[in-house]
Amino acid sequence: GDSVTQMEGPVTLSEEAFLTINCTYTATGYPSLFWYVQYPGEGLQLLLKATKADDKGSNKGFEATYRKETTSFHLEKGSVQVSDSAVYFCALMSDSNYQLIWGAGTKLIIKP
Amino acid sequence: NAGVTQTPKFQVLKTGQSMTLQCAQDMNHEYMSWYRQDPGMGLRLIHYSVGAGITDQGEVPNGYNVSRSTTEDFPLRLLSAAPSQTSVYFCASSQTGTEVYNEQFFGPGTRLTVL
Residue in B41, B100, B107 closest to A51 by CB: B100
Query: A95 — contact with chain B (CB < 8 Å)?
Result: yes
pLDDT per residue over A35-81, tens digit each?
999 998 888 999 999 988 999 999 999 999 999 999 999 999 999 99
Shortest CA gap B81–chain A (Å): 23
Nearest C-alpha neighbor of B17 from the set B68, B83, B62, B75 = B83
**Residue A11: which pLDDT band, with cuts at 50, 70 and 90?**
very high
pLDDT per residue over B53-73, tens digit each?
999 999 999 999 999 999 999
Q: Percent of chain B, pLDDT > 90?
A: 82
DSSP for residue B16: T
Give pLDDT, residue B101.
Answer: 61
Shortest CA gap B103–chain A (Å): 7
Q: Coil, strand or helix: which one is A92?
A: strand
Give pLDDT, residue B98.
Answer: 60
Give pLDDT, residue B97.
Answer: 58
DSSP secondary structure string for all residues of A45-72: EEEEEE-STT-EEEETTEEEE-BTTTTB
Q: How many whole angstroms separate alpha carbon B41 and alpha carbon B35?
A: 12
Q: Which letter, b or e, does each residue of B61-88 get, where b requires 16 or more Cβ atoms within 10 Å of its Cβ?
A: beebebbbeebbebbbebeebeeebbbb
Nearest C-alpha neighbor of A108 from the set A84, A72, A79, A91 = A84
Query: Residue A7: CA atoms inside 13 Å, Cβ hemisphere, count?
Result: 14
One-letter amino acid of B69: S
Query: A98 — contact with chain B (CB < 8 Å)?
Result: yes
